[in-house]
Amino acid sequence: MTPYEKWVAYYTIIRKEVVRLLRIWPQTFLPSLVTSTLYFLIFGAFLGSRIGMVHGVPYIMFVVPGLVMLSVVMNSYMNTSFVMFQSKFFMRTIDEILVSPTPPWVLIAGFISGGLIRGIVTGILVLLVALFFTHLVIHSVAIIILFLVLSSLVFALAGLVNGIYAKSMDAVNIVPTFVLQPLVYLGGIFYSTASLPPFWASLTRFDPLFYIINGFRYGFLGISDISLWVSFAVLGTLVLLLAVVNLYLLKKGLGLKQ
């Protein structure tokens, strides 16, 4: 395929995914908005005033970046894992691409872009909802965008590995429910690790979401429990590692071909 033909194949995968996302918007975009509205209501309006300030900012302002990131990573992950699993298991529509000359890396790029679009759009929508509850402070737009894209990328790639390997719907649902969600909640959405006992604070350092949430929060508030460079290094390593794993799986056909 020429570079232009590869671009057409990539565009086709994305276009198809955007049409799907918009067709079923009550399933793709709405749930995160409802959940985050409840969080903002409970932790902002109801409990926030009693908790007071964290790192010198109102509690509601402290939790906004984490809640945005929660919707970004969950949506990015679930989009690629579910779309891949559905297309290989229920309808076998993945064969439409597998029989074509579309190279594996274009297929990966297309699926990942679908995850990025859903994750980032949902994140922006949640951020807009947050404006109804608090005003936003922005320390660095560049860091916000960088963390938004990199985090979405990491979880879209991870979701794709899950979707390729999953042999049942349970295997697709288990990771977000029993792995991803606890990691996100324990990664410091609702609290600063500075307020934790030393043992739990050290344990949090093994949670990749801790680095993501802190980096993203730094973009808004200019405060973080750890160095920004450590966060970048963790994210960059995960992107590279997961991209290589996906490429290997697709090239070998593992999980997709018999």
Partner 1 sequence: MEDLALKTTDLRKTYADGTVALTGVTLEVPKGDFFALLGPNGAGKSTLIGIATGLVIPTGGALSIFGVDAFAQPERARRPVGVVPQNLNVNPFEKVIDIVVNQAGYYGIPRAVALPRADAILKDIGLANKRENIARELSGGMQRRLMIARALVHDPEFLFLDEPTAGVDVESRRAMWTYLKTLTSKGVTILLTTHYLEEAEQLAKHVAVINHGTIVAQGTIDEMLALADGRTPEGEAFRGGKLEEVYLKLTQQAPEQN
Q: Does 8 bind partner 1 (CB under 8 A)?
A: yes
Measured between alpha carbons, how far is 226 from 243 in angstroms, rounded to an integer? 26
The only residue of 50, 52, 99, 199 in contact with partner 1, by rule CB under 8 A: 99
In the complex, the smallest distance separating the C-beta of residue 3 from partner 1, rounded to whole angstroms, is 10
E strand or H helix at 225: none
Measured between alpha carbons, how far is 174 from 133 in angstroms, rounded to an integer? 33
The only residue of 46, 49, 95, 179 in contact with partner 1, by rule CB under 8 A: 95
Measured between alpha carbons, how far is 34 from 37 in angstroms, rounded to an integer? 5
Q: Is 21 exposed, middle or buried (0-12, 13-18, 19+ CB in 10 A)?
A: buried
Piece of the chain touching partner 1 by CB under 8 A; list 97-105, 130-138, 149-157, 226-234: 97-105
Residues contacting 56, CB < 8 A, separation 6+ = 223
Q: Count of residues for the chain? A: 258
CA atoms within 13 A on the CB side of 252: 10
User: Between residues 49 and 96, which has the closer beta carbon with respect to partner 1?
Assistant: 96
E strand or H helix at 53: strand 53-54
The only residue of 49, 100, 168, 227 in contact with partner 1, by rule CB under 8 A: 100
Piece of the chain touching partner 1 by CB under 8 A; list 31-39, 100-108, 141-149, 239-247: 100-108
The only residue of 31, 103, 222, 255 in contact with partner 1, by rule CB under 8 A: 103
Q: Coil, strand or helix: which one is 58?
A: strand
Q: Does 5 bind partner 1 (CB under 8 A)?
A: yes
Q: Does 105 bind partner 1 (CB under 8 A)?
A: no
The only residue of 1, 45, 128, 194 in contact with partner 1, by rule CB under 8 A: 1
Q: Does 6 bind partner 1 (CB under 8 A)?
A: yes
Question: Would you say the C-alpha torsion 242, 245, 249, 251 has a positive or negative sign?
Answer: positive
Q: Around Cβ 158, how many Cβ atoms within 10 Å?
A: 25
Q: Does 4 bind partner 1 (CB under 8 A)?
A: yes
Q: Does 255 bind partner 1 (CB under 8 A)?
A: no
Q: With CB under 8 A, what is the number of residues at the site for partner 1?
A: 31
Piece of the chain touching partner 1 by CB under 8 A; list 19-27, 36-44, 61-69, 183-191: 19-27
Measured between alpha carbons, how far is 58 from 47 in angstroms, rounded to an integer? 11
The only residue of 47, 139, 240, 253 in contact with partner 1, by rule CB under 8 A: 253
In the complex, the smallest distance separating the C-beta of residue 18 from partner 1, rounded to whole angstroms, is 12
Residues contacting 208, CB < 8 A, separation 6+ = 154, 183, 187, 234, 238
Q: Does 137 bind partner 1 (CB under 8 A)?
A: no
CB of 70 within 8 A of CB of 53?
A: no
By CB under 8 A, the residues from 175 to 194 that bind partner 1 are none
Which stretches of the chain bind partner 1, using CB under 8 A?
1-2, 4-6, 8-9, 11-13, 15-16, 19-20, 23, 91-93, 95-103, 252-253, 257-258
